[in-house]
Amino acid sequence: MNIQSNFEIRPARVEDVPVILGLIRELATYERAPDEVTATEERLVDVLFGEKPVAEVLLAFEGKSPVGFAVFFHNFSTWLGRPGLYLEDLFVKPDKRGKGYGRALLVDLAKVARDRGCGRMEWAVLDWNEPAIKFYRSLGAKPMEEWTVFRLTHDGIAKLAQSESTSAKEP
């Protein structure tokens, strides 16, 4: 680990939205889905800095050059009765990996979680991303092997929202 002396992590500001969108696009390319990004600068301004922000971003810089980011938001644990911190995306540019920047972003996130009284931090990782899985395990994170992530996308949400609440059969 060799963090540069000119390395900085700070919360994103509204003027950083173009940088955030660029990092989102780089992440999508890394995750083999470059055509799936539909986010726009206008939408990001609204959801990150509008009247009711729904997520936060930490940006990592080497000098004045952005090298990575962490996008996170709060969820809630009913069993703990406490908020949690959900890491939606952690990304360090491939040519900047191995310098400790990813770990530094996670350390800062852990401090946010601690300072906000969160009972846990959680995130998902693609099952083919062995370097990330190894990295997360090295930090003491454990996979939740008995859990399966479910997702409804835009069309599925609309279809479910239009259905009768009594028409679905529960197990």
Q: Tell how far CA 30 is from the center of its chain.
A: 15
Per the annotation, the verdict on 136 as an active-site residue is: yes
Tokens (6 digits) for 26: 């780089």
Contact between 48 and 19 (Cβ < 8 Å): no
H/E segment holding residue 82 = strand 82-92
Q: Per the residue annotation, which of 30, 86, 101, 136 is the catalytic one?
A: 136
Contact between 35 and 24 (Cβ < 8 Å): no
7 has which bridge partners?
62
Which residues are known to be catalytic? 136
